[in-house]
């Protein structure tokens, strides 16, 4: 049984910060690249950030570069997304996903998806 569970979403004012977490179970976590996608109301799901299986490489959408940081703790089977300087346009449901290769994660071609956690940024 494979499960990815996101947490940490909520309501925050513009300029504030949130830290999202994704806990994995039922998989060999260290073998998977991980990523975060987000879906705003009425829009398609889009790439936000990704990290390689080892944690040695990270990737960010231009819209979040310099503000978001993705990290992972393979010993605890978790991946996190630190979000700073939040903007109203960051409002979305944020989804955690996993795939063996970073290239697949970047394309949204996941083996596994979490259920999502809602982030609302007020102006």
**pLDDT tens digits along 87-114:** 999 999 999 999 999 999 999 999 999 9
Q: Using 50, 70 and 90 to split pLDDT, how confident is the model at 79?
A: very high
Contact by Cβ (8 Å): 113, 5: no
> Distance between CA atoms of 25 and 100, rounded to whole angstroms?
15
- Residue 102: φ, ψ to 5°: -60, -40
Nearest to 79 by CA among 102, 63, 61, 103: 102
Contact by Cβ (8 Å): 48, 37: yes
pLDDT at 1 over 90: no
Quick one: average pLDDT of 70-97?
97
Contact by Cβ (8 Å): 115, 6: yes
How do residues 29-40 score in pLDDT, each as one tens digit?
999 999 999 999
Using the structure block, give the residue that is written with the tokens 């703790």. 73
Q: What is the mean pLDDT of the chain?
A: 97
Q: Return the pLDDT at 116.
A: 97
């Amino acid at each position: 049984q494979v499960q990815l569970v996101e947490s940490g979403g909520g309501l925050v004012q513009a300029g504030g910060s949130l830290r999202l977490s994704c806990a994995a179970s039922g998989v060999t976590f260290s073998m998977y690249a991980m990523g975060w996608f987000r879906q705003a109301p009425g829009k398609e799901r889009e790439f936000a950030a990704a990290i390689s299986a080892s944690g040695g490489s990270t990737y960010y959408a231009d819209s979040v570069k310099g503000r978001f940081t993705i990290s992972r703790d393979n010993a605890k089977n978790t991946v996190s997304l630190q979000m700073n300087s939040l903007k109203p346009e960051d409002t979305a449901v944020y989804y955690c996903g996993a795939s063996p290769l970073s290239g697949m994660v970047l394309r949204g071609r996941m083996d596994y998806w979490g259920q999502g956690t809602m982030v609302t940024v007020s102006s």
